[in-house]
Chains A and B, each alone.
Chain A
Amino acid sequence: MPTVLLPRSLVSLFPGAPRRCEVEAGSVAEAIDRLDDAAPGMRNRLLDAGPSIRRHINVYVDGAPASLATPLGPDSVVHIIPAVSGG
């Protein structure tokens, strides 16, 4: 299953949420849905209207910039990282 790595500032909003988890997902959008299943409300923190990834949130799949439609393989690693521009 793909692995998702989450920032400390995000998981601190959801007590008990892990920084690293595995999700059953075929795309970034599906991975975020699974995160929201485990921590209701997390989707709203990562996605804006559209839906689109929030402006100051960067998502990478296997080190490359990704979108919601980016496919995930069984060994994919998804990094979700707050942008420097948002601080």
Chain B
Amino acid sequence: MTRSLLLVGTTKGAFVFDGDGARKTWSLRGPLCEGWPIHDLQWDPSTRSIYAGGGSAWYGPAVFRSEDLGETWTHSSEGLTYGDDGPKIPTVWNVTPAHGSIFAGVEPAGLFRSDDRGATWRHVEGLREHPSRPGWQPGAGGLICHTIVPHPTDPERMWIAISAVGTFATEDGGATWEARNRGVVDCNSPDPHPETGQCVHKLVMAAGQPDRFYQQNHCGVYRSNDGGHQWEDISKGLVSEFGFVMGAHPRDPATGWVIPLSHPEEGRTAPGGALGVWRTRNGGDSWERHGDGLPQENAFVGVFREAMAVDRLDPVGIFFGTSTGTLYGSVDEGESWSVVAANLPPIWGVEAVVLD
């Protein structure tokens, strides 16, 4: 029987929700990871492990691992350092399993790799050797490597995203990286088209088309059909160009979801206090708003960049968490919504897992 899990990272620990096959009834476990601030949780199907990345103001950064669906955890940050003379790393923003390894994106922006299931880490130095690095500037959340997108079959290829720097790609296993921001506007710069400086908030790959990407950026929503070499604005029709999350359908490369928020200098919350999820069925050429079951007045909540997840069932389930600790779910591809849980700490990350 199918069983679903929702993995939720918050400012005060991780939570695991156990769901039935219908994804209607959920039971909560937590707070886990000793109540550490957890930005991101990911499921590694190859080892049936949960990885959680975060950082404690007291105890620094770490990646937690559970091999029993969140009942018990170990943690490590061995090697998660730029060296004694390098900048200090306060937290992990992203953990992503790929091709037998685990990758971690950290603050200040950099990429680390573990080949022993998170026990030890080594710096993927090529990214910070990019010639643009002296000019990298932080966004409001810091100078953070928050998104890691591996190629589904080629371990040499990977895309990462840094705020407020942009998208980078490697085709040689991380030795060298190329900035891929052409066509993306930097609306906070006198030069709207620099090589880097674009504040990408979330980057997702389209299903079955590893050269098609979507990104929610500080300054718009974009699509690329060539691995990120060239981007085009697909914001037209959205209530706001600004938002953090972006979700991609697991089978249809033309379907995706965003949650637009108010202008970045006007709160970054649900526009007009009405919370809505916007879906495209045609690759971003047009958008439709869905708010059934979501609060439509006085809901001045935000949704952070890692806080939306899409499962692989049919119809697809979508789940997102708010800055005010409410977790919403849809089991009809985003057309109607219900509350999974309320009164959690502010939610940073959501991941949906389907156990067969």
The answer for the CA separation of A54 and B76 in the assembled complex, in Å, is: 16
Q: Identify which of residues 34-52 in chain A touch chain B, using a CB-to-CB cut-off of 8 Å.
A: 41, 44-46, 48-51
Per-residue 0/1 for B80-104: is the Cβ within 8 Å of any A Cβ (1 yes, 0 no)? 1111111111000000000000000
By beta carbon, the residue of chain B nearest A81 is B58
The answer for the CA separation of A2 and B56 in the assembled complex, in Å, is: 28
Q: How far is the CB of B262 from chain A (nearest CB, A)?
A: 30
Q: A56: which B residues are within 8 A, CB to CB?
A: 57-58
- Asked if residues B77 and A57 are in contact (CB atoms below 8 Å), the reply is no
Q: A55: which B residues are within 8 A, CB to CB?
A: 57
The 6 closest A-B pairs by CB, nearest first: A86-B57, A45-B59, A86-B58, A82-B58, A44-B77, A56-B58
B interface, size bucket: 20 to 34
Q: Identify which of residues 32-70 in chain B touch chain A, using a CB-to-CB cut-off of 8 Å.
A: 34, 56-60, 62
Known contacts A13-B75, A49-B88, A87 near B57 by CB under 8 Å: yes
B78 on interface, CB distance cutoff 8 Å: yes
- Asked if residues A12 and B34 are in contact (CB atoms below 8 Å), the reply is yes
Q: Can you name 5 A-B pairs with beta carbons within 8 Å?
A: A41-B75, A41-B77, A45-B60, A49-B82, A49-B89
Q: How far is the CB of A54 from chain B (nearest CB, A)?
A: 6
A5 on interface, CB distance cutoff 8 Å: no
- Asked if residues A44 and B78 are in contact (CB atoms below 8 Å), the reply is yes
By beta carbon, the residue of chain A nearest B76 is A41
Q: A21: which B residues are within 8 A, CB to CB?
A: none
Please tell me which one of the listed residues B59, B83, B88 contacts residue A13 in the complex, with CB atoms under 8 A apart: B59
Q: A51: which B residues are within 8 A, CB to CB?
A: 84
- The winner among B82, B85, B88 for most chain A CB atoms within 10 A is B88
The answer for the CA separation of A57 and B60 in the assembled complex, in Å, is: 10
The answer for the CA separation of A83 and B7 in the assembled complex, in Å, is: 30
The answer for the CA separation of A50 and B85 in the assembled complex, in Å, is: 6
The answer for the CA separation of A4 and B78 in the assembled complex, in Å, is: 23
Q: A13: which B residues are within 8 A, CB to CB?
A: 34, 59, 75
Q: A82: which B residues are within 8 A, CB to CB?
A: 58
The answer for the CA separation of A49 and B88 in the assembled complex, in Å, is: 6
Q: How far is the CB of B120 from chain A (nearest CB, A)?
A: 11
Q: A17: which B residues are within 8 A, CB to CB?
A: none
Q: A46: which B residues are within 8 A, CB to CB?
A: 59
Q: B83: which A residues are within 8 A, CB to CB?
A: 49
- Asked if residues B58 and A83 are in contact (CB atoms below 8 Å), the reply is yes
Q: How far is the CB of B54 from chain A (nearest CB, A)?
A: 13
- Asked if residues B58 and A57 are in contact (CB atoms below 8 Å), the reply is yes
- The winner among B56, B78, B81, B88 for most chain A CB atoms within 10 A is B56
Q: How far is the CB of B248 from chain A (nearest CB, A)?
A: 35
The answer for the CA separation of A46 and B77 in the assembled complex, in Å, is: 12
The answer for the CA separation of A54 and B80 in the assembled complex, in Å, is: 15
